[in-house]
Structure 1
Amino acid sequence: MRKSIGFLFLTLFFFACNPKEEVDLIVYNANIYTVDETFSKATSIAVKDGKFVEVSENNLTQKYKSKDLLDAQGNTIVPGLIDAHCHFYGLGLNQQVVDLVGTKSYNEILEKVEAFQKERQSSFILGRGWDQNDWEDKNFPTKDKLDEMFPQTPVALERVDGHAYLVNQKALDMAGITDKTVVTGGEIVKENGKIIGVLVDSPMAMVDAVMPKPDRKTQIQALKDAEKLCFDYGLTTVNDAGLHRSTIELIDSLQNTGDLSIRVYAMVSNTTENLDHYLEKGIVKTDKLNVRSVKVYGDGALGSRGAALKAPYSDKEDHFGAMITPMDQMEALAERIAATEYQMNTHAIGDSANIVVLRAYQKALEGKSDRRWKVEHAQVISEMDFDYFKNGIIPSVQPTHATSDMYWAEDRLGEERVKGAYAFKKLLGKAGTVALGTDFPVERVSPFLTFYAAVARKDLENYPEGGFQIQDALSREETLKGMTIWAAHSNFEENEKGSIEIGKWADFVILSDDIMNVPEDNIPQLKAEQVFLSGEQVK
């Protein structure tokens, strides 16, 4: 009896002398995919000072104490999702203009623009999201009806891919564009020698120059609107593919004051002013902002036939698309960036643009290691060119582009050339990683649509049966890695985010269902039920 009493006393004494460590948050009873090196699972996490302090298969409430306990009730938790290629600021600005995404005809566009103008009475009407490939008449629209409706008010409506404008005559006049205007790196589309109002790539800048610039209040509202949309879908880091210095500094300012929380990997837009500043300044890194890359445009988009191809478009005789950044400039730019710590991330859609970019990378990076330069989109690759990705080049791809373009991609490329398009699995096999994004607002924000497009290669109507070029589908594990740890690696941030591991930021998402096991057709309906950034709930 005395021994029993003594043992009890010692036990109580031990626990009294060894109280539970206090942490800020404990989540338990969860189905956690850590996405660590072995893709291990856990059931409980403890968070302190914004970072994971323990990840365990045991209930950590037995080891730690916290005022904030969360019973996950068996729900699935994944690392905070990363969109490796998007236009975060652009998404926010789009909330301030006419939303044309999903329009099924030119007449529907005109109705939306008319309704917007009745409400807003804008001095310069802006909109974005039209795609003639979704219409019964797949030809480019013309400006005639816009001229009738708005003879004195300039109108500029951006195509969904961001590589074409439809403008009216007033906007053309303000920009100084006439039938004698000569451009390189794009096209002023004409029919029978007459300008129809569609501008592809480089001439768009002439209209940009006369557009009213959003004031600071509008810019701030745009960033906040974009952040809310991203948090709603479980995105905790966004890679904005092309920002100017003023916007980057505004983001930094708002993050410092706590008015903006989302983590931003900012690719600096390729302008003389931006490069002169940032390449000289060096990497800019805080807990929420990372500026260490330059976004370059190689060519245009396939949907507007601006992508640069080695052979003519199959549906437009003698038309090859165009390089926005010519080969000699691409090589010189690569050499300049390679001499700094900055990463080069280049938009390349067509097979001609891709080989120009890949060769420029190979030449500039000779003798250099672990530079992690990216090809953004890597959309159409010739069979002979895939091996360039063995050299440490990272393909940054957007799975929903495949399922958006699949209806007409073969028309543009032909039966043989389309086989090297949207080849995510093959790219992964060569590069060892892929970084996955959406390119929103070109595509929808939802990372669950990204996941579905990557693994099923189908649209939301379950088309096509068996999946589009299904041999290039990714597994669920590969897809989740591409949206977390591989995306973080592509940003040089794999030691601070991208997986649920001790010492990393406590960015995580509680999902409505098990993303790794839910029936394939149910993936698009997944929801981010709760979202945490540095252990703080943001949704």
Structure 2
Amino acid sequence: MLQKLVFTFLTIMVLGACDRDRTSADLILRNAVIYTADSGFTIYTAMAIQNGKIMGVGDDKFILENYSSDSVIDLQGQAVFPGFIDAHCHFYGYANMKRFADLSKASSYNNMLEIIQEHNNLYPDLWIVGRGWDQNKWPVKVFPDNEELNKLFPENPVVLVRVDGHAVLVNEAAIILSGLTPDSISDAKMAILNNGKFTGVFLESYADYFRNLVPAPEGDQLTDLLLKAADDCHEAGLTMVADAGLDAEIIDHIDDLQDDSKLKMAIYAMLNPTEENINRFVKSGIVVKPKLSIRSIKFYADGALGSRGACLLDPYTDQPGNYGILTMSADELGRYCVIAYDNGYQINTHAIGDSAVRMVLNVYSNYLLPDNDLRWRIEHAQIVHPDDFNLFGEFKIVPSIQATHATSDMRWAGNRLGKERIKNAYAYRKLMLQNGWIPNGTDFPIEGISPIHTFYATISRKDHKGYPSKGFQKENALTREEALRSVTIWAAKSCFEENRRGSLEPGKNADFVILDRDIMVIPEREIPLAKVMRTYIDGEAVYIQN
């Protein structure tokens, strides 16, 4: 009896000592497939988390021998990934769009009018606004006019934003409120006229002008919209987004929500080049907070391919004589480059057409040394002249891509560009090879919000229906490892966040996603079916599938 008591006592002592030797953790994951996205692309089965940080990763035996926790989750072989990061989107724009009619499903102009009428009946307002129409999806693939719109809404101003945000269709009431006349248009390419009268279609800066006439959300309404948008992001597995173009008042609101722990999403804020933003932020230096970074300026060098605003070196194949629109000069961009360079800010310039891409590359190269680490970016870089690819690598210029643009545009892009020029469009592998890495995003709300769909488009070059069967220009697909890096660690690197986000390594933020299937090994066709089971930010579950 005495021997039994002594044995029991010694066992308790040993177990107690073992437990004291282990480090306490808030959460342990075990029996998982954990893709760390570290430099060696290491795969582990277990991870320990404490105070929002990753304490350790390894096999089950190592983690359970070195860490203890009251919360241990057996994932039964489920796949864990670093929290997905969207390197280029419009988070505020997506939030704001929740107020408006969704025109993305409009199958024709008449169908779009029906959607607008139904939305206005449900949510009557002075301003009637919608976004998402794309004439390339309609039987008649031309810009509409506002004749029917004027009949339906003779008094209320109507602003209907094209899917790319670079064109609008407005009614006569909105035009009257704007004060614009055909004689006042400084660039004839930015307003479509018929017999000297506005048709209602405006592009680029004039499209922005009409969009800015629509009253912006404020206060509690803005808070509600931003938090709902964040919920959508978390459900998709996003833990950080780079918002491509924000003004000070929106940044302030985001900052307040993050400080109050209401907005969990990390935001990389690209500044609109307003005088207020330049004076208040840029000239005061970079801002890096736990969930908010302000260290870049966003510019537009041209428009979009779908609305023929992308600036090309040679005319559009389906519209001879039209070269697109260069929305800023090299001299203007150069002046901002000096300001950014002097204050340590990143420059991120939208450039889609090969003429705009060349202009931006040439301007950047005037300021960048070959071995720089400033990470100045070209957003989209959709069409690049064959002679210009090497400049990305030579001056360490980062091409920021959105893989679903390729699969959304592929049915009509060849008509715009012709058989030869299309070969150097959406050339993501060729662009990736210039620097050995490439960030990826969605440009939502222009494309869907899902990073899983981005991953699928990146590796397959197909739409969700599996078209085309051999992939669109499949030579420019990335591997699964490259695709995962493009929406995790490489996306983080493009925002100078790689030291705290983008991979699952000790000391980094515990931002991770658990999926219902392993997108790294399942058949390609099953990838779009993958669902997010849980999303964690700083070790806290921000989304759990019901």
TM-score range relative to shorter protein:
over 0.9
Q: Secondary structure at the match of 1:310?
A: coil
Quick one: distance in 1 between partners of 2:483 and 2:268?
A: 20
Quick one: distance in 2 between partners of 1:298 and 1:513?
A: 40
1:14 deviation in Å?
4.6
1:171 aligned to 174, 177, 185, which one? 174
- 1:280 corresponding residue in structure 2: 283
1:10 deviation in Å?
7.0
- 2:384 corresponding residue in structure 1: 381
Change in 2 beyond 3 A, CA 1:372/1:8? farther
1:178 deviation in Å?
1.8
Matched, 1:470 2:483: no
Listed one character per residue, the Cα deviations across residues 203-235 of structure 1 (whole Å, up to 9, x for unaligned) are: 123323432222222211121111011000100
- 1:106 corresponding residue in structure 2: 109
Q: Secondary structure at the match of 2:350?
A: strand
Q: Secondary structure at the match of 2:528?
A: helix
* 1:251-270 map, 5 Å: 251-270=254-273
- 1:415 corresponding residue in structure 2: 419
Quick one: distance in 2 between partners of 1:212 and 1:500?
A: 42
Aligned residues: 538
- 1:199 corresponding residue in structure 2: 202
Quick one: distance in 2 between partners of 1:205 and 1:232?
A: 30
- 1:426 corresponding residue in structure 2: 430
- 1:405 corresponding residue in structure 2: 409
Listed one character per residue, the Cα deviations across residues 122-180 of structure 1 (whole Å, up to 9, x for unaligned) are: 10111100000011110001100110000000000100001001100110111112221
Listed one character per residue, the Cα deviations across residues 18-43 of structure 1 (whole Å, up to 9, x for unaligned) are: 42322100111101111111001000
Cα contact 2:370–2:396 (8 A) shared by 1: no
Quick one: distance in 2 between partners of 1:474 and 1:433?
A: 11
When structure 1 is superposed on structure 2, of 80-89 and 365-374 the one drifting more is: 365-374
Unaligned runs of 5+ in 1: none
Quick one: distance in 1 between partners of 2:280 and 2:259?
A: 21
Cα contact 2:106–2:115 (8 A) shared by 1: no
Q: Secondary structure at the match of 1:452?
A: helix
Quick one: distance in 2 between partners of 1:180 and 1:160?
A: 28
Cα contact 2:461–2:471 (8 A) shared by 1: yes
Report sequence identity in percent: 44
- 2:508 corresponding residue in structure 1: 504
1:102 deviation in Å?
2.1
Unaligned runs of 5+ in 2: none
Cα contact 1:128–1:157 (8 A) shared by 2: yes
RMSD of aligned C-alpha atoms?
Answer: 1.9
Quick one: distance in 1 between partners of 2:239 and 2:298?
A: 21
Quick one: distance in 2 between partners of 1:528 and 1:210?
A: 38
TM-score, normalised by the number of residues in structure 2 = 0.95
Letter in 1 for 2:318: D
1:36 aligned to 33, 38, 41, which one? 38
Cα contact 1:36–1:501 (8 A) shared by 2: yes
Q: Secondary structure at the match of 1:198?
A: strand
Change in 2 beyond 3 A, CA 1:537/1:67? same
Quick one: distance in 1 between partners of 2:60 and 2:125?
A: 59
Cα contact 1:343–1:373 (8 A) shared by 2: yes
1:73 aligned to 67, 71, 76, which one? 76
Q: Secondary structure at the match of 2:388?
A: helix
Letter in 2 for 1:31: V
* 1:388-537 map, 5 Å: 388-390=391-393, 391-537=395-541
Q: Secondary structure at the match of 2:80?
A: strand
Cα contact 1:184–1:202 (8 A) shared by 2: no
Letter in 1 for 2:485: K
- 1:17 corresponding residue in structure 2: 17
TM-score, normalised by the number of residues in structure 1 = 0.97
Letter in 2 for 1:313: Y
Matched, 1:123 2:123: no
